[in-house]
């Protein structure tokens, strides 16, 4: 046997031997690794990759890798945006090229994990763009969510990536926050259900054997969704009890019920401790209490922000980058994203005795484990030639359209204006700054297909109906979500556009008015020159002036609102005949809107977040404490539109509502039965919602909390009986002793089609 054969046999006896268990392989690999190679697994490149991987023209040049990354690297971020961006095939080819270097040119051949942003589809070229998560939450359809993210996972994995920095399971409690669009709304239970489905879609059974699934990353841990003053990354001032029952709940559900592999720590602080430095949060709760076995990734640049990052946020709990690295690893952050800054110092910190090498071993072990679980040591490459992206993207259009249909929420429909008759000889004016604009929201790719509202209406009516168009006014001049600079529209120019819109409106029989926000007026504020949070919830710019001017023409108006966070559409609510809340519908936006307006699809979406009357009405979430909403002088305290609300072109009745058992013990479950009947004349979809309140308890409890829902489709006159479980988990909370328990007593079980009292029927469940 020659020396090479002996070496191969030796390697196969260790971490390269697929016959051994993953744990045995990880242990064997770590014994072989130098300190430098271990720390390299805690590093990532993203912004630096164009320098390391490409020449000045953007062509791949790997000569720098053997200099900068000779010890390997843990992850590479967003290959999809390398240089000028990558097509589907180019991305697959590049991941193969890079993987080949790490597997064949580094000493131990440890493959790399490529991560991508997949908030509502891959944020890259030639990808399908689905509705934003705040819109997906409006579907109240977990099965649809799982199907969407399963499709996204397969698409991304086929291009060579292995981890999605998604889903966002923050509970969004402040509508001024520009990142509301990334969340599943204001309710912990709804967020949890959607989050669990998203994780299952991404990870499947978490064995990753089929090469169609990838690692999901829960973010942002924790409580990122209620920042002080509504500004991104601000402190979150909540008690431990509220933290556990509201903000931690979706994370725990995804860990317990979907076996999520990765968690991202949040930018914000809780009780004076930034999440990336919180041993209590990342160790005591996440690992010791919940039993999380995966790995924690940092949010982008957040380890640096423990010390100082002048262009964004500085927490000032670390004097320098050494201390920032120490705080983060001691808290349990496994890898620094997106670029090496503080964690490279860990090599010297270990040598100086300031960080034990055993801590490094602890943090890299689960990351190595999942490189084995993903099969990267045996099969690190993808077949770029098999990626028939054109056929796949065409096929995904149906799923994207179905999702957009289910998102659209009917808020108002006076005189049954909707749906319009497509065979009637209307003259329709499509007016507004969002009528002919690409509206995808944040973390979006560049889809091959995109249908604006104007395109969709024209396509729907064909030559039967004359369609007029006017921009009405502008919010911003050009610009995208990514651009730091925002050029706001000139008021004088807008006055001219409004005057033109009035002229167009006068020629029409029906007006479709597309307003709201765009990707620049509400977005993630990621540094001081890239703002996106808002102090005002009114329609941005001169849109109210546009709405008022068009309304005075005296024609029926259909308001179509696009936004990533709630907009206080007070004037529209009082004066516009019909209103559709669309959030961001994705690439099939115009087709979905046209289908709903002309009755090919009956809207059944429900609001996943309350719409306040103004910024002064914040907080506005429905599940408030009993003493929280006494009232305002000379003003309403109720929301403009409540959580769970949404109308239909048909009507529904809920009857024969009963409990299987109305008296149970603390560890027992019962069932709720309800008959749902379509009492109208067209097919429709209804979301039956179950809310629970512990009437008297050892600590104050919300006036109601969503604990069950089901979306069903019914033909005219059809009745279905729903059966929904009520378990101890639905009744428990963090009690006076901070134990998660069920307290004996009476519980109100509220059944209806929104969170409003008038839309609900109440039963009493007694727990003994």
Active-site amino acid positions: 299
Quick one: tokens of 27? 């242990």
Distance between CA atoms of residues 99 and 628, nearest Å? 56
Backbone angles phi, psi at 643, to 5 degrees: -50, 140
Contact between residue 426 and residue 509 where contact means Cβ atoms under 8 Å apart:
yes
**91: Cα separation from own chain's centroid:** 24
Angle at 750 between CA 583 and CA 709, to 5 degrees: 45
Nearest Cα to Cα of residue 326 among 343, 351, 313: 343
Which residues face 557 on adjacent strands?
A: 511
Distance between CA atoms of residues 431 and 453, nearest Å? 10
Contact between residue 360 and residue 39 where contact means Cβ atoms under 8 Å apart:
yes
The SS3 assignment for 390 reads: helix
Contact between residue 576 and residue 214 where contact means Cβ atoms under 8 Å apart:
no
Q: The tokens 């559900």 sit on which residue?
A: 253
Quick one: tokens of 95? 């991941």
Which residues face 217 on adjacent strands?
A: 262
Quick one: tokens of 119? 């908030």
Write out the DSSP string of 341-385.
SSGGGHHHHHHTTSS-HHHHHHHHHHHHHHHHHTTTTT-----GG
Angle at 684 between CA 681 and CA 686, to 5 degrees: 125
Q: Is the peptide bond before 222 cis (omega within 30 degrees of 0)?
A: yes
Distance between CA atoms of residues 436 and 447, nearest Å? 16
Backbone angles phi, psi at 427, to 5 degrees: -120, 115
Nearest Cα to Cα of residue 564 among 41, 106, 168: 168
Using alpha carbons, list the distances in angstroms from residue 282 to 14, 292, 453, 591: 32, 10, 45, 44
């Amino acid at each position: 046997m020659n020396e090479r054969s002996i070496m191969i046999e030796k390697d196969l006896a260790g971490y390269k031997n697929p016959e051994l268990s993953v744990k045995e392989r990880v242990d064997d690999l770590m014994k072989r690794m130098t300190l430098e190679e271990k720390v390299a697994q805690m590093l990532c490149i993203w912004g630096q990759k164009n320098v390391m991987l490409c020449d000045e023209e953007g062509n791949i040049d790997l000569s720098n890798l053997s200099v900068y990354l000779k010890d390997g690297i843990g992850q590479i971020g967003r290959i999809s945006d390398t240089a000028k961006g990558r097509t589907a095939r180019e991305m697959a080819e590049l991941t193969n090229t890079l993987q080949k270097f790490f597997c064949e040119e580094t000493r131990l051949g440890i493959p790399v994990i490529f991560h991508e942003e997949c908030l509502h589809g891959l944020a890259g070229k030639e990808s399908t763009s689905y509705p934003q998560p705040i819109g997906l939450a409006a579907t109240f359809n977990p099965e649809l969510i799982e199907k969407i993210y399963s499709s996204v996972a397969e698409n991304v994995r086929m291009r060579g990536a292995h981890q999605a920095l998604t889903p966002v399971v923050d509970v969004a409690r402040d509508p001024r926050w520009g990142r509301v669009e990334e969340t599943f709304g204001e309710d912990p239970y709804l967020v949890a259900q959607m989050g669990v489905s998203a994780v299952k879609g991404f990870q499947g059974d978490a064995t990753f054997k089929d090469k169609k699934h990838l690692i999901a990353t829960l973010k942002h841990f924790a409580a990122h969704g209620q920042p002080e003053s509504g500004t991104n990354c601000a402190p979150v001032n909540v008690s431990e009890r509220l933290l556990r029952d509201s903000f931690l709940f979706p994370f725990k559900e995804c860990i317990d019920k979907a076996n999520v592999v990765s968690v991202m720590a949040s930018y914000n602080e809780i009780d004076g401790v930034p999440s990336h430095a919180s041993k209590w949060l990342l160790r005591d709760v996440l690992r010791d209490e919940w039993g999380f076995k995966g790995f924690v990734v940092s949010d982008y640049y957040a380890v640096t922000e423990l010390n100082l990052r002048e262009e964004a946020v500085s927490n000032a709990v670390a004097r320098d980058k050494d201390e920032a690295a120490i705080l983060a690893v001691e808290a349990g952050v496994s890898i620094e994203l997106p670029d090496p800054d503080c964690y490279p110092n860990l090599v010297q910190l270990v040598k100086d005795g300031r960080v034990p090498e055993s801590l490094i071993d602890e943090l890299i072990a689960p990351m190595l484990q999942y490189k084995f679980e993903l099969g990267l040591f045996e099969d690190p490459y993808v077949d770029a030639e098999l990626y028939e992206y054109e056929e796949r993207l065409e096929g995904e259009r149906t799923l994207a359209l179905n999702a957009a249909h289910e998102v659209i929420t009917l808020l108002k429909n006076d005189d049954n204006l909707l749906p319009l008759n497509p065979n009637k000889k209307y003259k329709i004016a499509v007016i507004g700054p969002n009528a002919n604009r690409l509206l995808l929201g944040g973390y979006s790719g560049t889809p091959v297909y995109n249908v604006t509202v104007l395109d969709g209406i024209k396509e729907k009516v064909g030559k039967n109906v004359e369609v007029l168009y006017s921009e009405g006014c502008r919010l911003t001049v050009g610009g995208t979500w990514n651009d730091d600079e925002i050029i706001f529209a000139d008021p004088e120019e807008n006055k001219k556009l409004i005057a033109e819109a009035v002229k167009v409106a006068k020629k029409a029989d029906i007006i479709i008015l597309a307003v709201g926000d765009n990707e620049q007026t509400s977005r993630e504020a990621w540094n001081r020159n890239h703002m996106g949070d808002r102090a005002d919830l009114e329609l941005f710019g001169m849109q109210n002036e546009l709405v008022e001017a068009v309304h005075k023409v005296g024609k029926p108006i259909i308001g179509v609102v696009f936004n990533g966070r709630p907009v206080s559409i007070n004037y529209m609510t009082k004066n516009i005949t019909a209103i559709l809340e669309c959030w961001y519908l994705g690439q099939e936006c115009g087709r979905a809107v046209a289908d709903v307006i002309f009755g090919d699809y009956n809207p059944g979406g429900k609001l996943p977040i309350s719409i306040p009357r103004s910024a002064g009405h914040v907080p506005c979430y429905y599940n408030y404490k009993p003493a929280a909403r006494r009232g305002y002088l000379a003003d309403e305290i109720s929301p403009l539109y409540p959580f769970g609300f949404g109308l239909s072109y048909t009507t529904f009745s809920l009857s024969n509502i009963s409990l299987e058992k109305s008296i149970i013990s603390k560890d027992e479950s019962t069932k709720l039965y309800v008959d749902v009947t379509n009492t109208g004349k067209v097919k429709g979809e209804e979301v039956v919602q179950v809310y629970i309140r512990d009437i008297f308890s050892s600590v104050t409890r919300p006036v109601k909390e969503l604990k069950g829902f089901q979306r069903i489709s019914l033909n005219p006159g059809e009745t279905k009986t729903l059966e929904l479980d009520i378990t101890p988990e639905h009744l428990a909370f963090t009690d006076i002793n901070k134990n998660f328990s069920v307290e004996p007593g009476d519980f109100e079980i509220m059944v209806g089609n929104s969170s409003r009292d008038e839309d609900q029927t109440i039963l009493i469940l007694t727990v003994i």
